[in-house]
Structure formats: C-alpha cells, structure tokens
Amino acid sequence: MMLIEQIRQKQQSQSDFYTSRGLHVYFKDPLVNDEIDAEDLIANMESRLPPHLLEEIEMIIFGWFEEFVDRNLSAFYDSGTVYVSNLQDDPENMLDDILHEVAHSLEGPRGYDIYADEKIKQEFLRKREYLHDILWKNGFKAPKSFFVDPEYNKEFDEFLYETVGYDTLSRLVAGMFVSAYAPTSLREYFATGFVVFYLNSADHEFLKKMSPQLYEKINLLHNKE
C-alpha cells in the first residue's frame, strides 16, 4: 500500500504541461527518480536549442513502452513525438536522450542539408575503417562488410554492444568517436554529435577537432532557419 501511495503522490505532482514554445509534455507514467524535475529539464533543453530545430517536435511523453525492451532503448522518436523512459538514473541522462531524439527528428526535413554532399558519410566511413583495424588488433573480429555499410545493422549493433562491450569500445574509440554508440550507424554518428554540440555549447573545440565535417553540418543546422 505504501508503494501505491507513493506512485499516486508522484502522479499528482507530475502534471502534464505546455512549454512557452507550445511543446506538450505528457506523463503516461510518473518519473521514478525524484531528482528529476521535468519542467526544469524541458526548459533547459529548450534554452539550448534554437526554435527552428524543435519545429518537428509536438509532444514529449514520459513513461514505459514495450519498444524500450524490444529495441534496447530508453527513448525514441516517432511522428512528431519523443517517447522517453520514466526510469532514468539522473537528469543528465534524460536530457541526453531527448536531445538525441531531437536530432533524429531533423533527419527527415533537414536530411538534404545533413547528408546530400556525403561529407559526414565519408568522414564516418573513414573512422569505421580505422575502427575495424583497431578491433581486429584487439581480438574482436567481424566481417569487413559490417564496417563499410553506413546503415544500421542489428547484427553489427549486437557485436559492438555484446561482444566488444561499451566499456571496452569507449576506450578503443577515444579520440575518434564521441561515444561508444556513435559507430553504430551514420544516423547515430550524427545524433551523438548533435548531443555533444548542445550539451557543450560553450566549448565546441572537442567536437570540431574530432569530427570536423560533422561539426560543420550541425553548426549549419544551428544557424540555418
């Protein structure tokens, strides 16, 4: 009974709301972590992004969805809505998740600006080729075909996550990719770079030096309404 009462109290304290930009925030399920203030977090997110980069987002829903288990996710974007897990370790992880999905929301309407000249694709595949060599030298052997295809491949994703492991991968890709998840596909390369750009808005030198083409694309999006 005590747990049920705690859940009820959280539901009462977490009311749906609209932001000043008209973004609808809805709680399907209450946030489990008491340290996360959803209104502060969303306000923080909106303060980091120029309004034109949020035009595709109509709604953010906090809760638990089967897709999180089926696809090993904590957030996803679909048709104008960002779905975010209500089970989060801290506000920083949740903000990271939301910014990541905002990036994916831009790939449809801004896809030409991002990918048409293939500059970030070429940069990404050069890094992938180098990653292939590093992994082989460290005993992690996978077909070369995994590394030359920029599209998402579930088998390759599982190889990186389960066989190599993100702790090991983080160490091996340091200075080449912004995170262990960035090599997964070209789309994730873009989205993880987008997160770094906006989480570290006061200092872009890290991203600019590591991934200059990716940085230029995100900077273009930032300034192009």
Q: Return the pLDDT at 6.
A: 52
What's the CA gap between 16 and 23, in Å, rounded? 11
pLDDT in the model for residue 184: 97
**The predicted structure's pLDDT at residue 70:** 81
pLDDT at 9: 53
Q: Which pLDDT score is estimated for 202?
A: 75
Angle between helices 119-137 and 166-173 (to 10 degrees): 110
Name the residue among 211, 144, 209, 156 with its Cα closest to residue 185. 156
Structure tokens at 87: 């089970």
Q: Which positions of the chain have pLDDT values less than 70?
A: 1-13
- How far apart, in whole angstroms, are the C-alpha atoms of residue 102 and residue 116? 20
pLDDT computed for residue 1 by the predictor = 46
Quote the pLDDT of residue 224: 87
Kindly report the pTM of this predicted structure. Answer: 0.92
Domain ranges of the chain: 2-105, 112-223
